[in-house]
Structure formats: C-alpha cells, structure tokens
C-alpha cells in the first residue's frame, strides 16, 4: 500500500489504510482529514458564482451547499457580507431620501449612488460580528449533536447562507421607491415605516434557514431535522441583530 493511499491518524500516529473514515487502531474520526485531501483551490469567478447562486435560486440550494460543505472558503463569504452591508445601507439611504421634502434632486441621487459603498464598510463590521457569533453558536450545538465539520467549514456554510438577505434589501429598497414611506412616520421604530418594511425580510430569512440547513446536512452530516432546527437559529439571530435593534434606539 502506497503512502499516498493512506492517512496518518493524528491521534495515535498509525497509518490508516485508504477507505477508512475511522482509524482502525484507535477509532479516531478521520472525516475532516479526508475532506482536506479532496479540497482544491477556488477562483474569484467561482466565489462570485457561489454568491450569485446563494441569492438567486433556492432550488439550487442542495447542490450549492453540498459543494460548499466539501470545499469551503471564507474569502467569498467576506465579499458576500460586504455586498450585504452595501445593500442594507442602500435600503436605509432610500428610506431616508424618500422621507425628505426635496426627494431625489441631484444631490440625493449622487448620495444614493455613492453613499452605500462607503457606509457599507461600517455595516460590514456589524455583519462580521453577527456572522462570527452565529457560526460559533451553531458549530458548538452541531458538534454536541455529533456534527463532523470543522469551525472553518461552518463559517463558510453560515456565511453563504446569508445571500438571500442581499436580495431582500434590494427588494425593500425598490418597494420604498415605488410606494414611499408611510405618511405618519415618526422617530419611533414601531410607529415609523421601519417595522412594516422589516417584515418583508421574513420570507428571505426562511430561505437563509433553508440554505443553512442544507449546508449543515452536507457539512456536519446531521439529519435533516437537527439541521433545519439549527438553521432557524441563524435566521432569528440576524433578524434580531439587524432589524429589531432600532426598537431600543
């Protein structure tokens, strides 16, 4: 047997024959090591393809997140989170401009085009915090339930599952442009238009949970029930973080 066909167990240092997912000498789980041997580099084009597929077609979810579970990456997630931050900043900018008495004159139009890309950097910090916190919680619970994926793998699964929120923010921005803000807008969250428009995110958060559940099945090898129950945690976490915080401001 050649050395390339075997794996050195990190627990007992014995060489395990090819085809084993458990070390025959000590019973150590070799799943993550086998996955590492199968992984290949990911190009920027492939990263943007993953981002597009995550936000555009839920029917492709199982195939996409099977690929991500086998070959994860974090750089693509950071790009996705920045685009999410920009889209959310666009939504806030649209809401502010539509409430102005001089809506959509030249200054506001330029502001609308440029500001989200700048303020998105600030929102990226919040998005990164939410991504890391949610991933840690889901990874710890998944490992308790017998999950196989590493923390690095889980970062990728959770991050790419947030793609539908980009679509959600752009849809909400379009709705605000078409319908405008409610006439009784005040400074409080519940009596302003924020609460109304925030509810439009709920179906997209359901798609996020579906994506994450598929990723947990392929990455952590959890059964569907556990996977989708866990994925609801990421949806609840991000809804609270991004859309309920204004209640307390």
**Is residue 49's pLDDT more than 50?**
yes
Supply the pLDDT for residue 80: 94
Residue-wise pLDDT tens digits, 145-176: 888 778 888 999 999 999 998 999 888 888 87
Which one has a higher pLDDT value, 137 or 180? 137
Which one has a higher pLDDT value, 181 or 237? 237
Residue-wise pLDDT tens digits, 171-191: 888 887 787 665 445 555 444
Supply the pLDDT for residue 163: 92
Rounded to whole angstroms, the Cα distance separating 30 from 7 reads: 8
What band does 76 get if pLDDT is binned at 50, 70 and 90? very high
Which one has a higher pLDDT value, 103 or 161? 161
What is the percent of the chain where pLDDT is above 90? 16
- Tally the residues of the chain: 249
For the chain, how many helices (H) and strands (E)?
10, 2
Supply the pLDDT for residue 90: 81
Which one has a higher pLDDT value, 229 or 176? 229
Kindly report the average pLDDT of the chain as a whole number: 77
Query: Mean pLDDT throughout 188-206?
Result: 71
Query: Mean pLDDT throughout 191-197?
Result: 61
Q: Which helix (H) or strand (E) holds 16?
A: strand 15-16
Query: Mean pLDDT throughout 91-116?
Result: 59
Query: Mean pLDDT throughout 49-61?
Result: 89
Rounded to whole angstroms, the Cα distance separating 13 from 232 reads: 39
The CB-based long-range contact list for 47-54 (8 Å cut-off, 24+ gap) reads: 47/73, 47/75, 47/76, 47/79, 48/76, 48/79, 50/76, 50/160, 51/76, 51/79, 51/80, 51/83, 51/160, 51/163, 53/163, 54/80, 54/160, 54/161, 54/162, 54/163, 54/164, 54/211
Query: Mean pLDDT throughout 44-59?
Result: 90
Give Cα 170 to chain centroid, integer Å: 16
């Amino acid at each position: 047997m050649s050395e390339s066909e075997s794996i050195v167990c990190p627990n007992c240092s014995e060489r395990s024959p090819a085809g084993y997912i458990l070390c025959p000498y000590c019973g150590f789980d070799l799943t993550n090591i086998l996955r590492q041997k199968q992984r290949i580099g990911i190009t920027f084009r492939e990263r943007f393809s993953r981002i597009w597929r995550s936000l555009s077609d839920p029917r492709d979810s199982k195939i996409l997140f099977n690929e991500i579970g086998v070959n994860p990456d974090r750089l693509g997630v950071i790009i996705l989170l920045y685009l999410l931050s920009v889209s959310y900043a666009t939504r806030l900018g649209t809401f502010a401009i539509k409430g102005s008495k001089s809506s959509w004159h030249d200054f506001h139009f330029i502001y609308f085009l440029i500001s989200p890309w700048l303020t998105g950097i600030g929102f990226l910090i919040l998005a990164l915090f939410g991504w890391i916190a949610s991933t840690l919680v889901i990874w710890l619970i998944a490992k308790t339930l017998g999950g196989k994926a590493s923390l690095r793998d889980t970062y990728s699964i959770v991050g790419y599952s947030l793609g539908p929120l980009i679509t959600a923010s752009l849809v909400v921005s379009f709705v605000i442009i078409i319908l405008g803000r409610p006439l009784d807008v005040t400074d409080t969250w519940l009596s302003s238009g924020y609460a109304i428009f925030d509810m439009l995110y709920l179906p997209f958060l359901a798609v996020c949970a579906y994506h994450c559940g598929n990723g947990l099945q392929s990455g952590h090898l959890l059964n569907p029930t556990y996977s989708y129950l866990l994925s609801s945690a990421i949806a609840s976490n991000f809804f609270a973080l991004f859309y309920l915080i204004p209640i307390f401001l």
